[in-house]
């Protein structure tokens, strides 16, 4: 089979299950390996964005349906609805309470969230840090229900897609940088097994060895796993899988080289 005829999906499959395939990719250019990594990162970046995109749009749609009549004028917010309005759950909540004397510490009952009061917005992060913003910074601005709906439409169709683009681009950049680190791991394994492979070959092996770990990482990102030190433990799994693939690939290539060398000597 000619290298040029191996399409992207075949490359993904072969990099996962066929260690003899690594003998093929070391004969190709580095550019082809980089293109493969960019395409893989692009697809995984899009998949990684699906969950937050769905959840954000779902929250906005729900908020648009129940949004009450509001006015923000002279630094004071008035909401025509029974207080408090609570949206979300323990992990992520939005509370609107424009009654006098609202206690912002209510946010500490939740992992993270936003509290909107008559004169101020409080934001609590999962790290238990909290920030506040007074409405009087918009003293000369007037906000009403229609303004808010227009803003949400802008946020949904402009800001969210732009945010998704940033996620995808960051995924590509992180993977390209990560491939350099993986190639250093490959150099160490190359020395251990005395395979005498050049850096170019090792880099290409490293790129394809990242496939399974990258897929597993994206799959785990779609799950809400709250286990102490889970991400640290997964880091060992992530690179453990990469080391396994690099080792198997290098041993396979070295084995073929030794067989060819033996046949040449016999001839």
pTM: predicted TM-score of the whole model, two decimal places: 0.71
Sorting pLDDT into bands at 50, 70 and 90, what band is 210?
A: very high
Give the number of domains in the chain.
Answer: 2
Whole-angstrom distance, CA of residue 41 vs CA of residue 31: 15
Is the CB of residue 118 less than 8 Å from the CB of residue 106? Answer: no
Cα 76 versus chain centre, distance? 38
Instruction: State whether 45 and 165 are in the same domain.
Output: yes
29-48: average pLDDT: 93
Instruction: State whether 209 and 173 are in the same domain.
Output: yes
What percent of the residues of the chain are helix, what percent strand, and what percent coil, each to the nearest 5? 65, 15, 20
Instruction: State whether 132 and 165 are in the same domain.
Output: no
Instruction: State whether 241 and 187 are in the same domain.
Output: yes
Does residue 60 belong to any structural domain of this protein? no
Q: What is the 3-state secondary structure (H, E, C) of 22-47?
A: HHHHCCCCHHHHHHHHHHHHHHHHHH
Structural domain that includes position 91: 75-138
Residue 226, token pair as written in the block? 């709250």
Does residue 61 belong to any structural domain of this protein? no
Percent of the chain with pLDDT over 70: 92
Sorting pLDDT into bands at 50, 70 and 90, what band is 173?
A: very high
To 10 degrees, the CA torsion angle through 241, 243, 248, 250?
150
Sign for the pseudo-dihedral over CA of 110, 116, 119, 123: positive
Residue where one domain finishes, among candidates 106, 138, 170:
138
Instruction: State whether 238 and 189 are in the same domain.
Output: yes
Instruction: State whether 247 and 183 are in the same domain.
Output: yes
Instruction: State whether 125 and 84 are in the same domain.
Output: yes
């Amino acid at each position: 089979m000619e290298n040029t005829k191996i399409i992207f999906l075949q490359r993904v499959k072969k990099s996962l299950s066929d260690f003899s395939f690594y003998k093929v990719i070391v004969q190709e250019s580095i550019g082809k390996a980089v293109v493969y990594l960019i395409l893989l990162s692009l697809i995984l970046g899009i998949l990684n964005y699906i969950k937050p995109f769905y959840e954000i749009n779902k929250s906005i749609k729900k908020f648009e349906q129940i949004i009450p009549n509001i006015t923000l004028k002279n630094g004071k917010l008035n909401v025509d609805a029974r207080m408090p309005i609570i949206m979300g759950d323990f992990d992520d909540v939005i509370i609107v309470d424009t009654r006098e004397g609202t206690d912002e510490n209510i946010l500490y009952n939740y992992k993270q969230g936003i509290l909107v009061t008559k004169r101020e917005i409080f934001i609590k992060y999962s790290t238990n840090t909290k920030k506040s913003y007074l409405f009087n910074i918009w003293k000369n601005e007037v906000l009403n229900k229609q303004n808010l709906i227009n803003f949400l439409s802008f946020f949904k169709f402009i800001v969210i897609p732009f945010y998704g683009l940033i996620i995808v681009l960051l995924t590509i950049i992180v993977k390209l940088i990560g491939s350099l680190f993986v190639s250093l791991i490959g150099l160490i394994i190359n020395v251990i097994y005395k395979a005498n492979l050049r850096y170019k070959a090792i880099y290409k092996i490293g790129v394809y060895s990242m496939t399974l770990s990258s897929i597993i990482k994206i799959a785990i990102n779609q799950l809400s796993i709250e286990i102490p030190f889970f991400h640290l433990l997964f880091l060992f799994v992530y690179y453990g899988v990469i080391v396994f693939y690099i080792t198997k690939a290098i041993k396979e290539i070295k084995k073929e080289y030794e067989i060819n060398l033996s046949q040449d000597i016999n001839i």
